[in-house]
Structure 1
Amino acid sequence: MKLDLLLRNAEIITMDPDRPVAGSLGLWQGRIVGLDEDLDGLDAAQVLDLGGATVTPGFIDAHCHTTWFGLGLAELDVSGARGLEELYELLRGAVANPGTDGEGWLFSTGFSQTQHGGSFPDIAELDRITGERPLFMRHNSGHMAVVNTAALRLAGAESPSFPDPDGGAIVRDAAGHPTGLVQETAQELIQRLILPYSLENIEAALERATLYYASEGITSFTEAGVGGGWIGHSPAELAAYQSASANGRLHARAQVMPVLDVLHGLGGHASDSAGAAPAGLDLGITSGFGNDYLSLGPAKVFLDGSLLGETAAVSHEFCSHGHKDNRGNVGYFQADPAQLRERIEAAYAAGWSIAAHAIGDRAVDLAVDIITDCQGVYGQRRLPNRIEHASMTRPEQLARLADAGIAVTPQASFFREGGDGMTASLGPDRLPWAYRAASFLDAGVMLAGSSDRPVADGNVLRGMQAFVDRRTGSGAVFGNPAERLTPHQALAAYTSGAAAATGTLAEKGTLTPGKLADFAVLSDSPLTAPAISELQVLATAVGGRFTYQSTHFHAEPSSESPYAARVSASRVSATQSS
């Protein structure tokens, strides 16, 4: 046989414990054929001499919001503003230069009060800047947004007597007037005026986002919620994914989670599980439907809120005093726990795996209780059940997670921007419970690397660095220093660990013969580099096809073979970033 591509003279980190390192890798028809001596005597259509560069399995982001991120790339980004006056100036500029959206909605992304000394914008100043042009500025947590009076008026929610929706709040001042902050499900009051986005807009957003992913070595991701709720963008969002894939505009493999809200009764035969517990998607498709490029993941359900917004369901009240008095504040569930259980059990009975957003330890208790009960009645699912974030886990919860085979997706990317704020909010007694990593692995819990992008930084190399050093913006170590991962464990989180948690380890996550040829080429080894975050992604390939090549990844003619090419300048300075 003739290989499609042969990589040689490389430092290949396979993440396969049976064969951890290699120097050559052969690919054919999108799959890995063999390593080193497996390739003896085989010719290749293209030979790349990597000049000692490092090859790892392609990175997997097991929890991100790709449509949201891609849309945000075309919106006003205020994440760089420091101090409210800088933010106001960005808004003034956007109003003065409206661009293609004319006098319609003003959309902004990347706001966090942590960038402004804990302060939120003054709605009176927002109104002076925007006038009657409605504003929707999403908080980078996704769990709240800042709006102006024009937006509240359009939603009919301007009056002090307007009731808060279940699972959310329109934050008001002492006189009962809205401050412009809408939390959790209250965001939907505004989003109803905006949604749905057109499928073409979503498809374009997916292309923007996944090209960005490719530049960072990401070859697979899990979209954590589509189709409904405050996180969805269209009831036909999956159609945009299908179109993007068919049109070559999806540059990474996608596992897509529908939100639980879009599952509905199917009216199956009474003897069917769907008939007994009718909650699914039309035609009875469930988790795992699709192919190795685009498939359905678990059903996503929100149990509680966020730590930064202090709406997570925790067992002890928050300590800090931000935008509200925290006396007695232990967060809240997104709906009545009994109602959440009923809806989750119906979906599970119909064949769905469950991905439960649970930040606080009370929410983790609820998630584990419901999932273990479902598994006891209906058995395990092929795709692992998951707890998204699992941000606060008490010591006794670790064994329960491991025994139930529940995967977790904590985000180390939160440490730098939000670590100091969460430290103040949680207090010293509970801080060791926050964003565990090493103790999850020690207990035997499946740990998946993820970013929650655009909520936090999605760069995988910086995420690995954060798992290793756990540094906050102030330079302090976040939480328990014993939760630090080794570089190998950090790399595993974004490769083999994420593949296991997404139910795809048989196909990817390690550079093993027979698996998909998804890989990243790095300037040096993340296992030995002094600073993982300063490595450079030289190239990314999905199914053996390059989705990204940096300016340092040059294929030059080589005299060694008529097909050979040499990668020049592959070992660039470790101080250069991608």
Structure 2
Amino acid sequence: MKLDLILTAGEILTMDPARPTARAVGVLGGRIAGFDEQIAGLEAERALDFGDAVVTPGLIDAHCHTAWWGLGLASVDLSRARGLDELYALIEAEVARLDELGDADAWVHGTGFNQGHHGDAFPDIARLDEITGDRPLYLRHTSGHASITNSATLRLVGALDPGFENPVGGVVVRDADGAPTGLVEEAAQGLVQALLLPYSTERLVEALEAATSRYAAEGITSFTEAGVGGGWIGHSPVEVAAYQAAAERGRLHARAQLMPAIDALRPLEGHAADFHREGRGRGLDLGIRYGFGDDAVRFGHVKVFLDGSLLGATAAVTEDFCGHDHNRGYLLDDPETYRERALGAYRAGWPLALHAIGDAAIDLALDLIEEAQERYGRLAAPCRIEHFGIARPDQLERAGGLAVAVTPQAGFIGPIGDQMADRVGPDRAGWLYRGRSVVDAGILLAGSSDLPVADNNLRRGMQSAVDRLTDSGAVLGAGEALTPEEALRTHTEWAARATGQIADKGTLERGKLADFAVFSASPLTAPSIAQLDVVATVLGGELSFDARS
């Protein structure tokens, strides 16, 4: 037998306790054929020798927003502005650029706004109007849960009309006199997006290629797109087709697992024998459900937004946010509506991925998961709580008993950890984006970036899981630190288990996909995981990134 590839390195960390390390791995047909003595004497079409570098399973980002980030790469980057004067200057420059192009109808798009970079202040709508005139403006908050607009945009969505009513789950924020401030929260963003959607398949393919080529440079071989096809998180009713087209054209440089937004699901019909006594439930046409697809593009959990964000103080909590009098955020819909829709999706074969940042939202998420599992049994993939941002001690025990997976973003700790701690106060800061207590409670901890809320340098995120350091040098929840090995497992084995894909990825074993990340040194022993270089990334036995070339 002649292999397709033999890859050698100083050390191969398999994350498989039956065979923790190796020096050589063989690949055949895009999958692992064996290690060391198992491939001794065999020839291969190609050889890759990485010298003293260290190979691990390809990294998995279990919750990110790839299309959103890819589309935003062409927008004004507001994250680099410090102070509103710098932000206004960036917008002025973009307006001037559009004027030079002669495109009078072009929108001004920006991404990455964070009020924490501006003394907790938001742009003044009068100043934005002065800069933009009649051009619509759409500046996305770094959390994704809010946007900044101008009067031209608000006029287009009808928010300036008498009798305007906020949509369910969202708010066009107004001042004490009832005038819009330009801030648009949560589902109200859908009013703005309705003017821009749907994006064309070709535009989405371009965005996916731009995003996933950058993923490869970070050692990422798989990711979960946390919401497609519906709600304010979707970009097109045929968004999945864009992923398929990108894969078919060789323009998708990492494996995609897609979470349909629950808004994309609809009541199902079929033969009576296929129905539970309560009905078939909610799903996609033709009965397509979780797991459908191939190794390049596959359906994952159904995504359900329960609450908002910490930075915007819209996460649903049981105690007031600091500095926000009597504000405890809010659920984005009525609990009974969530119950009907989520249980219907679960009944039709969709494991739940419930966005819950505040502890009040986590309570609801646990209620829904518990009822779903008691009524209809446990599915092959675990239900998930996305973010698990402010988790009380009693919620850890309950989540462990329900065998859920959670995706708290360790990568948030550095850039926005100080802001989050200020939002909740010192008594609750230790509950934020937990690590150690999650593992000790028997909960599956999956690593994720939530890109573009934070960057997808997963090495930085893994180091944050270990040291818990904010950008100010404070330690956020010292008792929540993970070991380097555990941090690596959050983006390999544990992420694969949380996404229901451990049979194919997450550890390096015979028969699994030949997806590898190659680092300049070992993540287990390096002084700082964040300082490691990505030497190369291998997807199915083929180089998707090579820093040596």
TM-based fold match above 0.5: yes
Deviations 1:167-216 (A, max 9, x none): 11111112111110000011111111111111111111000000000010
Pair 1:442 & 2:444 matched = no
Q: Give the superposition deviation at 1:349.
A: 1.0
Aligned to 1:243: 245
Q: Deviations over 1:418-464 (max 9, x none)?
A: 11111111011111211111111111111100000001111111111
Q: Does 1:58 align with 2:55?
A: no
- Residue 294 of structure 2 aligns with an amino acid whose one-letter code is N
Q: Letter of the aligned partner of 1:246 in structure 2?
A: E
Match of 1:153 in 2: 155
Alignment of 1:543-554 (within 5 A): 543-550=540-547, 553=548
Could you tell me how far apart the structure 1 residues matched to 2:116 and 2:379 are? 40
Gaps of 5+ in 1: 321-325, 555-578
Counterparts of 1:328 and 1:121, CA distance in 2: 24
Distance in 2 between residues matched to 1:159 and 1:9, nearest whole Å: 65
After superposition, give the CA deviation of every residue in 1:459-486 in whole Å (9 maximum; x if it has no partner).
11111111111111211111x2010111
Unaligned runs of 5+ in 2: none
Q: Output the amino acid matched with 2:306.
A: L
Matching residue's letter, 1:181: L
| Cα distance in structure 2, aligned partners of 1:273 and 1:63 | 32
CA–CA separation in structure 2 for the residues paired with 1:135 and 1:244: 29
Identity, % of aligned positions: 58
2:268–2:280 CA contact under 8 A, matched in 1: no
Q: For residues 30-179 of structure 1, what are the structure 2 equivalents within 5 Å?
A: 30-98=30-98, 102-103=103-104, 104-159=106-161, 161-179=163-181
* Matching residue of 1:417: 415
Q: Secondary structure at the match of 2:444?
A: coil
Match of 1:528 in 2: 525
Cα shift readout 1:53-101 (whole Å, capped 9, x = no counterpart): 1101000000000000100111211111111111111111111011769
The letter for the 1-side match of 2:359 is D
Query: Kindly tell me: are residues 160 and 90 of structure 1, through their superposed partners in 2, closer, same or farther at Cα, counting changes over 3 Å?
Result: farther
Bigger shift: 127-136 or 48-57? 48-57
TM-aligned CA deviation for residue 267 of structure 1: 2.1
The CA distance in 2 between the partners of 1:81 and 1:421, in whole Å, is 17
> Partner of 1:15 in structure 2?
15
1:493 aligns with 2:496: no
Q: Is the 8 A contact 1:10 1:49 kept in 2?
A: no
* 1:281-292 → structure 2 map (5 Å cutoff): 281-292=284-295
Shift of 1:159: 4.3
The yes-or-no answer on 1:389 pairing with 2:391 is no
What secondary structure is seen at the aligned counterpart in 2 of 1:137? strand
Matched residue, 1:353: 351
More divergent stretch after superposition (163-172 vs 255-264): 163-172
TM-score in terms of structure 1 length: 0.93
Aligned pair partner of 1:223 in 222, 225, 234 = 225
2:269·2:280 contact (CA, 8 Å) conserved in 1?
A: no
SS state at 2:451 partner: coil
Please list the CA deviations of residues 215-247 of structure 1 after superposition, one character each: whole Å capped at 9, or x if unmatched. 100000000001111111111100111111111
CA displacement, residues 88-115 of structure 1 (integer Å, 9 cap, x when unaligned): 1111111101176923111111111111
1:440 match: secondary structure = helix
**CA-to-partner distance for each residue in 1:389-445, whole Å, 9 max, x for gaps?**
011111111122122121000001111121111111101111121111111111111
Q: Residue in 2 aligned with 1:191?
A: 193
Question: Aligned runs of 1:184-333 on 2, under 5 Å?
Answer: 184-273=186-275, 276-320=279-323, 326-333=324-331
Alpha-carbon distance in 2 for matches of 1:477, 1:402: 25
Whether the aligned pair in 2 keeps the contact of 1:268 and 1:278 (CA below 8 Å) is no
Query: Aligned to 1:34, what secondary structure does the other structure show?
Result: strand
TM-score (norm 2): 0.97
CA contact (8 A) 2:209 2:246 kept: yes
Q: 2:205–2:246: 8 Å Cα contact kept in structure 1?
A: yes
Structure 1 runs of 4+ aligned residues shifted over 6 Å read none
Partner Cα separation in structure 1 for residue 498 and residue 102 of structure 2: 40
Give the SS at the match of 1:4.
Answer: strand
Q: 1:288–1:383: 8 Å Cα contact kept in structure 2?
A: no
Give the conservation status (yes or no) of the 8 Å contact 1:371–1:385.
Answer: yes
Contact 2:71 2:204 in 1 (8 A): yes
Q: CA RMSD in A?
A: 1.3
- The answer to whether the Cα contact below 8 Å between 1:160 and 1:178 also exists between their aligned partners in 2 is no
Counterpart pick for 1:371 among 369, 372, 376: 369
Letter in 1 for 2:200: S
